[in-house]
Amino acid sequence: MLCDIEEEALAKAVAALKLTNADVDGVRADVSLKAELQVAADATVARYGTVHILVNNAGVGGGGGYGRWTDASWNWVLGVNLMSVIWGIEIFGPLIEAHGEGGQIVSTASIAGLIPGSGLAYNVTKYGVVALSEGLRAILAPRAIGVSVLCPGFVRTQIMDSRRNVPQRFGALEAPPKEGPIAEFIKEFQERVSRGIDPLYVGELVREGIENDWPYIFTDTEFEPSIDDRFAAIKQGFDRIRGRQPRH
């Protein structure tokens, strides 16, 4: 069962997959709304009876840089990138537990969920998805449900065109600048995404991750040194206070 806010894209994906031997269906939903995710779950159970695998994959870029934050932009990014994962697990998790046959939950974070970047709102949501997945893994393992978090690097998606699907309830979000350092950074980022990893390859990695219950699914090693630097800095923080007696 596929779920998307974009009806045309959803119909196209379902039609293409039906050309294979897969039994595929789709349901339109704004995943940032808990009620619509519940409708999607009900449609899934009505169509297939049971649920074994949940893939939380919706994501948007944006939120505005420091000094340009708004309630609407934060609510949009938090709603799609983080709250949809929370509600997806809350709604679909019990459906996986119900049959007792085990299953897997995969949630898409980002390499930006492990190292800081310039998109702070995006980073906050992706760090949240990583923390949620790490915590749930220990909780759900005794119930035969694996939990994986996908932390991709640059993948060839439409993430830079997320605003095409901003729900009307958020109003007109402030457009990014067309000139200056921020505009140049966005242009460079768009170029990196356009040359990014093939999404089909990422899908193959996710399938392998599900089959082998990988806790972390990475798409490449480009940012491994940055992750090493992050944890080295954390270790230095402990080294600075090593041997000191806390005051009570």
pLDDT in tens, the chain (248 residues): 999 999 999 999 999 999 998 999 999 999 999 999 999 999 999 999 999 999 999 999 877 778 788 999 999 999 999 999 999 999 999 999 999 999 999 999 999 999 987 689 999 999 999 999 999 999 999 999 999 999 999 999 988 788 888 888 888 787 777 888 877 878 888 899 999 999 999 999 999 999 999 999 999 999 999 999 999 999 999 999 999 988 88
Report CA-CA distances (Å) from 144 to 100, 102, 140, 179, 189: 8, 5, 7, 52, 39
Distance, in Å, from the CA atom of 20 to the CA atom of 44, rounded to the nearest integer, reads 20
* Euclidean distance between CA atoms 62 and 180, whole angstroms: 17
For the question of whether the overall pTM of this predicted structure is more than 0.85, the answer is yes
Please state, in angstroms and rounded to a whole number, the distance separating the CA atoms of residues 14 and 76: 26
Return the structure tokens found at 115.
């190292």
What pLDDT shows up at residue 32?
A: 94
Which entry of 122, 127, 201, 216 is annotated as an active-site residue?
122
| Cα distances (Å, whole numbers) of residue 51 to 40, 67, 102, 170, 233 | 12, 43, 10, 32, 41
Decide if 168 contacts 78 (C-beta within 8 A): no
The per-residue pLDDT for 106 is 98
The CA-based diameter of the chain, rounded to the nearest angstrom, is 67
Which tokens belong to 67? Answer: 């000094």
**Nearest residue to 1 (alpha-carbon basis) of 122, 109, 123, 88:** 88
Catalytic residue list contains 122: yes
Angle of CA points 123, 202, 55, to nearest 5°: 70
Contact in structure between 121 and 63 (CB atoms under 8 Å) = yes
